[in-house]
Chain A
């Protein structure tokens, strides 16, 4: 190989490596779903409204419209945002409402059928308080869970009466799961996730939406 060819090869290789590093860093810093800000608490409380959908409108979620997904309602605009990242103040009561537009998916481990870490140790299914839900045998069926392990918070989300496949959905065919919890005094990122293996078409339901921000897992950013 001639000297010119070797030098050219070396330059191309260096540029490829540098370009790759820049791409990864930029993707990490700039990519990912947006964060919905609930930092402006009223009377020491914030109201967080989410919905779950079996799949989404490709115009809204072009990356993976067939994946099961959460949406969060922006308090500023009132619109649904395709994200699982939200920001809340520290040491504040968070009132969560989850509109269930997905059908039933049983928990793999029934231990996640128990409500824990909420105010009063209960969640409300359409206004009825529940403490332990048999996600395998009813009477309530569940579709997903909302859990923040480091806060020992775990809430099974009731299955909807119908399956909406064009999330974010706005019809009335949904379940309503509500609960409250206190954010910790310590600021930081608190991961949350669904414990129902609901990644349809992935091995054993893991992978895909279960492991991707914006779908079935995310972060609750607590700020002081």
Chain B
């Protein structure tokens, strides 16, 4: 109950300790330890790793977000634990607590601090998305951020149920089921689909971008280390969605050049049969398809180009 001088005493008449200060002193080391552990111990192992520039910046962003969030979580936990211990019910103490009608200082502090944290994280996230960290997520066909340092390696990623294929327009336009990238070089993925919506997820590279039919979605990355890259589809795309996987390779520049030379030669016959390289492939616009229709006596059937006499979904 408040005394005549305004101080608050407990049921035994003892003055209330400064709970705010005690909670702060308990919270401070917990928050510091949590942040240090996140930054130096857990941080280097956070996804998606640091195999590429885009992956490393994403990992850095996650570390910063975690370091900002950990003290808030620590405060909630410390306060909860403190309340359970200090304000627990004691035998024989049936007195009500003091009526509280608000505390302007606490309210202002709480709203102010949390607003600053949330708004600063929003600004930070927006800036990160507009820069290299967000480039791996795909920027549509008119990217607002491009890597400096000349023309990047162009790799077209083509999704189809249920496999990825890759086309290398700077090396004659050959198309292959293998993803091979050179270390230390900027890479521009031009991602599209031939049928439904897929999502090209090259996990270790920090690249996850939608593959939409008739749309070129540009994503950038720069592999910084050699190794394997797990490629998955991250958009439910049908029966074998879970099996739409590939293992790509990041190799040295010399190994990459040797691979492209070999692939270009081995796939020469196939490359001649491919349509000219474009950023998207509308099957109805491929002129050669008309020939096969004519030769087979088809009137729009086949290849998914069915006439309007057929229902979209029976």
Interface on A for B, CB 8 Å cutoff? 103-111, 113-114, 131-132, 134-138, 141, 149-150, 152, 159, 191, 193, 195-198, 200-207, 210-212, 217
Contacts and interface: CB of A to CB of B under 8 A. Distances in A.
8 contacts: A103-B302, A114-B267, A135-B292, A137-B291, A193-B240, A197-B195, A201-B314, A203-B304
A203 B312 contact: yes
A132 B301 CA distance: 23
Given A104-B292, A200-B301, 20 more contacts: A104-B296, A105-B301, A106-B292, A107-B303, A109-B158, A114-B267, A136-B289, A137-B273, A137-B288, A138-B291, A141-B295, A150-B243, A191-B243, A195-B160, A196-B303, A200-B310, A202-B312, A203-B312, A206-B161, A206-B304
B288 A105 contact: no
A110 B274 contact: yes
Interface in B171-212: 175-177, 194-196
Given A136-B288, A205-B306, A211-B239, A111 B274 contact: yes
Nearest to B283: A108
B269 to A, nearest CB: 5
A212 B239 CA distance: 8
Contacts of A211: 238-239
Contact of A114 (B270, B286, B296): B270
Given A136-B291, A149-B162, A205 B303 contact: yes
Q: Chain B: interface secondary structure?
A: loop
Interface majority SS (helix, strand, loop, mixed), chain A? loop
A210 B196 CA distance: 13
Contacts of B311: 201
Nearest to A196: B303
A212 B160 CA distance: 17
Contact of B196 (A105, A110, A159, A206): A206
Contacts of A202: 312-314
B225 interface: no
Interface string B263-297: 00001011001110000010100101101110110
